[in-house]
Amino acid sequence: MNEVWEDYVVLHFDYDGIRVDFDDKATTIHRKTEDGLIIIARNEKDERRIVDHLIKLGFYPAVVPGLPRGGLQLDVGDIEDWMIFIQEDLPNSNAWVG
C-alpha cells in the first residue's frame, strides 16, 4: 500500500479564546466570566472575506475523511499551490486577515 500525503487547512475563528467553526450558525458567542456573561458578536463580514480570499488562493471546500468535523475544510489540489501558500500567502496573511 502506497502512502498518499494530503495537505489540508481546517478553518476556525478565534474570539477571545473561544474557537468557532465557520459553519456555526450562531451570530454571537457567550462567555462566562467572574463578572458575569460576556456576549461577543461574530464578525461575519470578516469571516466571509477570509474564506473568499482562501478560495481565491486555490483552496476549495472538501469533506476529508479522518479530519475533525466542523469548520470549513479546505484543500489545495496541487503541491506547488500549497508551497506558495505556506511560503508567501500565509506569512502575508495580516494583509487579508484584518
Domain ranges for the chain: 8-97
Residue 75 corresponds to which cell in the numbers above? Answer: 484543500
User: How confident is the prediction along the chain (98 residues), in pLDDT tens digits per residue?
Assistant: 777 777 778 888 999 889 998 888 899 999 998 999 999 999 999 998 888 888 888 888 877 777 776 667 777 777 888 888 889 888 887 766 65
Virtual torsion, Cα 80, 81, 83, 84, nearest 10 deg:
120
Residues 6+ apart with CB under 8 A from 95: none
At a CB cut-off of 8 Å and minimum separation 6, what does 69 contact?
A: none
| CA separation, residue 8 to residues 3, 57, 58, 64 (Å) | 16, 13, 12, 9
The residue count for the chain: 98
Cβ atoms within 10 Å of 70's Cβ, excluding its own: 15
